[in-house]
Homo-oligomer: A and B are copies of this chain.
Amino acid sequence: MTTPLQRVDAYIDQHFDRFVGMLGDLCAIPSVAAQGQGIDPCATRVAELLSAVGLDAQLIATAGNPVVYAEAKGTRDTTLLCYNHYDVQPAEPFDLWHSDPFTMTRKDNLLIARGVADDKGELVSRIAAIAAVKHVLGDLPVGIKFLIEGEEEIASPNLAPFIHANVDRLKADACVWEFGTHNADGVPISYLGLRGICYLELSVETAKIDTHSGIAGSILPNAAWRLVWALNTLKDQDERIQLPNFYESVIAPTARDMELLAALPDSDEEMQELFGNSMFLKNASGVELRRREIFEPTCTICGITTGYQGAGQKTVLPARASAKVDFRLVPDQKPEDVVKQLRAHFDAHGFHDINITVVGAGRPARTAPDHPLVQSLVASAKDVYGREPLIWPMSGGSGPNYLFSHNIGVPIVTLGVGYSGSRIHAPNENIRINDFRNGMRHMAALLMRLGA
C-alpha cells in the first residue's frame, strides 16, 4: 500500500528526464529582459507548458514585457497563487562560464545554465508538481493561479499597474514566492518576508565645468566635498541612520521571530570565509548577526562617482558628484517617507543643493510565522525532507511581495530548487539535481496539504 506522496515520487522519478529536458528547452531561450532578447518566444513557451498540464494560460500585454497568467480550478475552494518570472539576468561576462550559458549542461550532480535557478527551475518544478499531483489524485486538490512576469530582473516596472488592474483575478488564499533555497546539507530554507527598498541617486553640481584644482581649489565650491559632507550626515560611524523619525515606524522582532532566528544554524564562519572580512558590523555574531541581517534597516552607499578616477594624478576640481544610495526598510517603514525625511534632513543641514532622484522603491512585507500557510509549508517539508525547513522570518533582500500581500491580501512563503551555491546573477548559475527533484516533491506535498 503506497501513500499518495510515494506515488507522486514515483511519477516524478518516472518522468524526471522529461522535466530536466523541459528545463533545458526553457533555458535555451535567452529571455534577457535587460537586452530585450527572447521575451515573446519564452513567454509563449511558458504558456504552452502550463496549458499542457491543464491550466488555462494566456499572455497579457503590459506597457513592457507580457505577463503569462494561468489558472485552474481545484476540488476545493482554496487557491494557491504562484509568483514566478520568465526573464533572466544577462549572462555576461561570457568568458567566465565553463559552458555555454544558454545550453543547459549536466556535470556531476549539477544542472548549469543561465536561469536554471532564477527562475526557470522553480517554474518547471511547479509544473512537474502539478502534473504529478493530478496524476495521483486525478484532479487538483486546490485551485492554482500563476502570475509569471517578464521584467523581474529589471525591477518589475510594470508589475504594480498589472496587479492593481487584476486584483480580483489574482485573489488567492496563499502564495508561493519565486525563490527557494537549500543549505549545504540539502535542508530547505524558507523566507517569510522581504525588506523594502528605497534606491536613490543623490547628485550635486557646483559649476558648469571641472576646474584646475590649483587655480580654483581655494575659491570655488567642490561638488565632491558637498557630496561627502552631505552623505556624512546620513549615518554615523555607529551605523545609526540620522534621518528624523527614520526609526519611528520600525516594528521590533517578536519573541517568536527571535525564537526562529535562534533555531537557525550559525553561518558566521562561512560568511567570513566568503567575503574575506574578519569582523561583522558592531561585532555581531550568531543570533544577533542574523537579527541585524534582516531586522535592521540600512543606508548603503552602493557607489560614488566624481572627478578623476584613473591612474596617477589629475589635478581637477569636480563640478559634479553623485552617489547611489540604497535604504533597506523593515516593516512598517515606507520608501516615500524616507524620501521626505531625506529632503527635510538635507534642507535642515544646508544641503539644498543635493538633488534626490528615486530610482526604485518598494515596501517591506512579511507573513506571520504562525500563519496556517507556514504550518502547511513546514508540514509538507517534513513529508518530503523528513525534517522541518529552516525558517527565516524575513530576508535581507527586497522584491515586489508587498504588492501581493497588500493588494491581494495573500500570505507568502518561499519554496524552490536553489541552494547556497547556485550563483544566481553570476556566471555558472546552477542547481543540484536532488534539490530540483525535492523542489517538485515539496511543491506537490504543499498542494496536497493545502487541499487536505
Give A contacts to B, CB under 8 Å: 155, 195, 197, 199, 206-209, 211-222, 224-225, 228-229, 231-232, 235, 237, 239, 271, 274-277, 279-281, 284, 289, 292-293, 296-298, 300-309, 312-319, 321, 323-324, 326, 328, 350, 359-360, 395-398
Contacts and interface: CB of A to CB of B under 8 A. Distances in A.
Contact of A305 (B276, B304, B312, B314): B304
**Count of chain copies:** 2
B225 A228 contact: no
A418 to B, nearest CB: 14
10 contacts: A207-B275, A214-B396, A220-B280, A222-B301, A224-B303, A225-B300, A228-B231, A302-B315, A303-B314, A315-B398
Contacts of A321: 304
A64 B165 CA distance: 71
A303 B316 contact: yes
Given A207-B277, A281-B221, A199 B315 contact: yes
Q: Which of A306, A315, A323, A395 has the most CB of B within 10 A?
A: A315
Given A214-B397, A276-B209, A277-B207, A307 B318 contact: no
A424 to B, nearest CB: 10
- Interface-central residue, A225, A300, A307, A319, by most chain B CB under 10 Å: A300
A218 B281 contact: yes
A6 to B, nearest CB: 37
A36 B308 CA distance: 22
B224 A359 contact: no
Given A207-B275, A220-B281, A360-B313, A215 B304 contact: no
Given A215-B293, A217-B300, 14 more contacts: A197-B214, A211-B275, A213-B302, A213-B328, A214-B396, A216-B275, A219-B280, A220-B275, A221-B281, A224-B301, A224-B302, A303-B308, A303-B318, A313-B324
Contacts of A277: 206-208, 220-221
A279 B199 CA distance: 32
Contact of A218 (B293, B307, B317): B293
A228 B232 contact: yes
Contacts of A297: 218
Given A228-B232, A235-B225, A324-B307, A298 B220 contact: no
Nearest to A277: B207
A211 to B, nearest CB: 6
A306 B308 CA distance: 12
Nearest to A312: B359
A306 B301 CA distance: 9
A276 B302 CA distance: 30
B312 A303 contact: no
A334 B212 CA distance: 21
A218 B304 contact: no
A285 to B, nearest CB: 10
A340 to B, nearest CB: 20
A292 B218 CA distance: 6
A49 B217 CA distance: 38
